[in-house]
Each structure stands twice: as C-alpha cells, then as structure tokens.
Amino acid sequence: SAPAALPLPVLGRDVTVPLVTGGEAVYAALDYAASAPALQRVWDDVAAYAPYYGSVHRGAGYLSQLSTDLFENSRRTVAEFLGCRPGDQVVFTRSTTDSLNLLAHALPAGCEVFVFETEHHASLLPWRDARVTYLDAPRTPGRAVETLERALAGRDPHGPALVCVTGASNVTGELWPVRELAAAAHAHGARIVLDAAQLAPHHPVDVADLDVDWVAFSGHKLYAPFGAGVLAGRADWLRDAEPYLAGGGASRTVARRADGGVEVAWHTTAARHEAGSPNVIGAYAIASACEALTAAGFDALVAREQELIARVREGLAEVPEVRVLSLFGDDAPRVGVLSFVVEGWNSSHFAAALSAEYGIGVRDGLFCAHPLVRTLLGGTPQEPGECGAPEGGPGERSLNAIRVSFGAGTPDEHVDRFVRAVR
C-alpha cells in the first residue's frame, strides 16, 4: 500500500496477535505519538557502527577516536537538522522530559516562567521551583499570542523570563503559532523554549527561522530508539548554570584546595551537562534519523500524513457518536495525532476492545496533559485522574479519551481497519 511511495521504510515485520474473538490479526500500531518505530535506515546505520564502537572522549585508541568523531559529528548533524545558529549548543539528554528539566535547572536567578496549562506535563512541571504563571487554554492560535502578550506586559522587562510552548499538541495534534509566540516573548524581553517532541517527527523545525531560543525533542518519537533526546539552543544560560550532573566529562580540571575542599573548573561546552559516559549510540541514531528525514524530505512525509488524517477523519465522521477533540477548531492544521471520545463508551474500555478484538494499538487516558484533556472534555477535576485510569463503567461518561497517531510506515490498511473497528 501507499507507504512504499514514501522513501522512509520503518524497521519491523508484521506481528500477528491473537484476538479474544478467535483468530488473529496483524498488529496495527497507531500510537506513534507515544513512540514511533525506528526507521530501517537508522537501524542499519547503528548496526554498521556497532562492531566499531569504543569509549568516547578519553580513549587514545583508534576506535575511541572513531566513536568520539561519530558522537561529535552527531551533534553537528542535529544542529544542521534544527537550523541552529552559530554558537548554539546541542546537548544530548535522555528525552524531551530530561531536556526541559535540564533547562529548568539552568534558569537564571529570579527567572519567571510562562506556560500554557495545555502543555504536556513534561513542559508544564519542570519549572516548579521558579515563579511560574500558568496561562489559560486559548481557543484560537491568535488568542494564544494575545494571552501571552497580556501576561508578559505586566512583568519587569529587565528580569529574566522564559516561555515554554509546544509546537504540536500530543493530544489534538494541532500546530501552535510558534513564530508569533517567539516574537511576543522577545518583544517583552523573554526567552522561549519549543517543546518539539510532537513537531519534529512531522514537520521541519528551524530554530533560527522560528527564532526560538531552545528546542527539545526525543529520539524515540523521531524514528530512533529509546534513551536519547536533545536540548539545543542558546549557549549562555547553559554555560552559566551549574552542571546538570556532576562528574567526569563535565569537569575540565579538579584539584584539592588548601582548605581541604576541591576546586572544579567545569567545561563551558555541551559537555558541561553530559557528565558520565554518554549514550553514543542513542546520539548517533538520532543523527541518522535526522539525516534520513532530511533526505526523504518532509514534503513527502507531510503529504502522506495529511492523506492518512483525511482518511481517518472521513471514516470517523460517519460515526455520529464520535467527537474529535480540538482546541483551535475542527479545521485547524494538525500533525498525524488525533484524540476522540465515543458517546456512551468509557474510553479505556473502547481502547481495550480495539486491541483485544481488532489487534489495533492506540492509547487511552489523559496523555500526560491532564488540564488540557479536562478542558477539552469540559470535565471538572477528578481524583485521582491517573493517565489511563478507567473512570466509570460501560455506558458511563469517562474523563479520558482515545488517541490515534501515525506517520512513516503506516499503511492505509491499518487506518482503514481502525475506522471499521470504530464503526
């Protein structure tokens, strides 16, 4: 089917799963927003490198030098992929969550933080030790800009401030007006970090063009394996901050002081925040995914995803009980991520049935964006509101939703089977 036309084959074979109704089905993974399959090219690159890897940075041997080059070249590849400015740093982290926590750790003293309540918890929660202003959910992209401008207008423009915003929602898939929000932040003397966990796998991200100060994303959503992520952007706050982790690799020199303590001179490069032996394979896999996506061209990926979105939307439109969730309106541009509820059904039961009866893997719950999902469902806060916890039995209204998401490698057959199952 169609993905053959897309020059981005993903790793994997068809996996056959047993169904409770008897028989079996080829598993349809429609949960790319949580973790996407690795690209075949990424896996091939990692396998080709595997026989040659050695310790990085501190080894004198040939393979150590090769690995060090590969690690440092991966940084350059990622910087190019993101359109970084000269002087920007690319720090390899574990994930988007880790990247944003690192930036939270590097905030200058007295920094104010502005964040929409609609954010994923990874963008919402790391700033708890700063002075945080949570902004109400805007119902249009224009409102988002106005809300931010109003909030920033009241602050002291000379003090440091950071805005944190998602590029594409992990719940609705909707695109946020990043360029306009960056302009608003900068007009009021604030910096901005882009949570590109959902944007980068679906859309080109150009840091210089968007004029964002930092960007964060995860390898496992960008068709690379688990365990590595990126924080890229302005060097100054990162260079001035205490190391995120203290240890070897982050320190340039360490010496005993006359008073018995130790004197440490920390690196001022990305290494400052990468103490310990780094995840070289994870970094290399991300760089390989960046190269593969660039070579294939986002145009082909976006066009394919839009086809799939249209297929899903048309199919779901025929089911009157289905309500697709949207903050910015039904026609708002989105990436291949879509959440919905089915009237008369508990979302967790519904998702469980998709898996057990049809072999379709989706996600249910509040998607680690509890305030947003509650806003979208018009719900009152509930306790305990766990991600994915069923609330109520069949036939009762549930305060959670079902999310379907896809991308490179998704065949028409998977989304068609999903639509038939929902029907």
Q: Does 368 qualify as catalytic in the annotation?
A: yes
- Which residue number, 188 or 370, has a Cβ lying nearer to ligand PMP? 370
Draw the binding track, 37-66, toward ligand PMP (x: CB under 6 A; -: no contact): ------------------------------
Distance in angstroms (rounded) separating the CA atoms of residues 175 and 27: 29
Q: Report 214-273 residues binding ligand PMP (CB under 6 A).
A: 218
The answer to the question of residue 147 lying near ligand PMP (CB under 6 A) is: no
Nearest approach, Cβ of residue 189 and ligand PMP (Å): 26
Q: Tell me, rounded to whole angstroms, the distance of Cα 77 from its chain centroid.
A: 19
Quick one: tokens of 368? 């680690």
Cα–Cα distances in angstroms (integers) from residue 306 to residues 35, 118, 169, 280, 335, in the given order: 19, 24, 16, 34, 8
Query: What is the closest distance, in whole angstroms, from the C-beta atom of residue 128 to ligand PMP in the complex?
Result: 16
Q: Which of residues 356-375 bind ligand PMP (CB under 6 A)?
A: 368
In angstroms, give the least distance from the CB of 170 to ligand PMP: 3
Cα 106-107-113 angle, rounded to 5 deg:
140
CB of 423 to ligand PMP, least distance (A): 28
Which is nearer to ligand PMP, 105 or 267 (by Cβ)? 105
Closer residue to ligand PMP in complex, CB, 170/347: 170
- Does the protein bind ligand PMP through residue 96 (CB under 6 A)? yes
Q: Quick one: which of 118, 147, 198, 348 contacts ligand PMP (CB under 6 A)? A: 198
Residue of 214, 221, 217, 163 lying closest to 187 (CA atoms): 163
Cα 41 → chain centroid: 21
Distance CA(90)–CA(231), nearest Å, equals 6
Long-range contacts of 318-325 (CB under 8 A, 24+ apart): 318/423, 319/422, 319/423, 321/345, 322/422, 325/171, 325/172, 325/373, 325/376, 325/377, 325/401
Nearer to ligand PMP, 286 or 354 (CB): 286
Q: Distance between CA atoms of 232 and 334, rounded to whole angstroms?
A: 24
**Could you tell me the smallest distance in angstroms from the CB atom of residue 377 to ligand PMP?**
18
Active site residues: 368
| Residue numbers at the binding site for ligand PMP (CB under 6 A) | 95-97, 120, 122-123, 166, 170, 195, 197-198, 218, 368
